[in-house]
Amino acid sequence: MARAALGVGVRELATLAGVSAMTVTRFENGHSGGSPETLAAIQRALEAAGVEFIPENGGGPGVRLKKRD
């Protein structure tokens, strides 16, 4: 969802996170939970690109784009 909100492709996210495109694809398809290090790298890349992760608040966790100043 975060990648789609940014309009970023699998390959671009993989490059930004320093992982393979196959790793991103496997994670998105639910075929791999990913290692903690890989998940942290992907999250950092998405946050640097403008995504904000929203914690569980009764409606479930989510993502949104950060406000631009």
CATH number, domain of 13, equals 1.10.260.40
Over its length of 69 residues, how does the chain's per-residue pLDDT go in tens digits? Answer: 899 889 999 999 999 999 999 999 999 998 887 899 999 999 999 999 999 998 887 778 888 888 876
Task: Indicate the number of domains in the chain.
Answer: 1
Taken in order 46, 52, 53, 59, the sign of the CA dihedral is: negative
For residue 38, the enclosing domain spans 2-65
Q: Residue 50: in which H helix or E strand, if any?
A: none
CA distances from 44 to 11, 26, 28, 40 (A): 16, 18, 16, 6
pTM exceeds 0.75:
yes
Which residues, listed in sequence order, are joined to residue 65 by a DSSP beta bridge? 51
Predicted local distance difference test score (pLDDT) of residue 30:
87
